[in-house]
Structure 1
């Protein structure tokens, strides 16, 4: 069972690293690059999504003091769903238009 939790912790750290890279540089994985219109929202969503399995693994390995299972369950789900919502919004919201710049279509 520990290897499953360890794998989740590794994937959580990977998502957090990708979120930090996205926030600092604006770089997004090539598979998502075409769909993301707001990189900062995507970065914050990746941070929250990665925090959920990482916190769950820290509780499992007793690195953090244990809290009730309700707090772990609902807190982990809140982080996960908030991150997924931000990632979805980063793909669904339209591009921001700056009125001072010309239209890229040339019309």
Structure 2
């Protein structure tokens, strides 16, 4: 069982590194470039998701101070779902503002 949690923590660490690099540079891996229209929002979502995986693994191994299991469960799930929501929001198409009249229409 410990190797499964360790693998999840490794994926979480990779997601945190990916999220930080996206937030700092705006770089996305080739697999996410087509879908993500807002790289910063995508990076923040990946960072929250990776943090959730790391925290839940740390709670499993007992490295964090003791808290009620409900607090650990719901806080980890809240981080995970908020990160996934931000990733989904980063893939919405951009809206164009129609504040100015197009000069070619006149």
Q: Quickly name the TM-score band, shorter chain normalised.
A: 0.7 to 0.9
Max Rg structure: 2
What residue number does 1:27 align with?
27
What residue number does 1:11 align with?
11
Q: Cα RMSD between the aligned structures?
A: 1.9
Compare the two structures and name the one with the higher helix fraction: 2
TM-score (norm 2): 0.87
* Structure 2: segments with no counterpart, 5+ residues: 100-106
TM-score (norm 1): 0.86
- Pairwise CA distance, 1:29: 1.1
Q: 1:95 to 1:43 in 2, by over 3 A?
A: farther
The structure 1 segments of at least 4 consecutive aligned residues displaced by more than 2 Å after TM superposition are none
* Structure 1: segments with no counterpart, 5+ residues: 100-107
- Pairwise CA distance, 1:96: 6.7
Aligned residues: 100
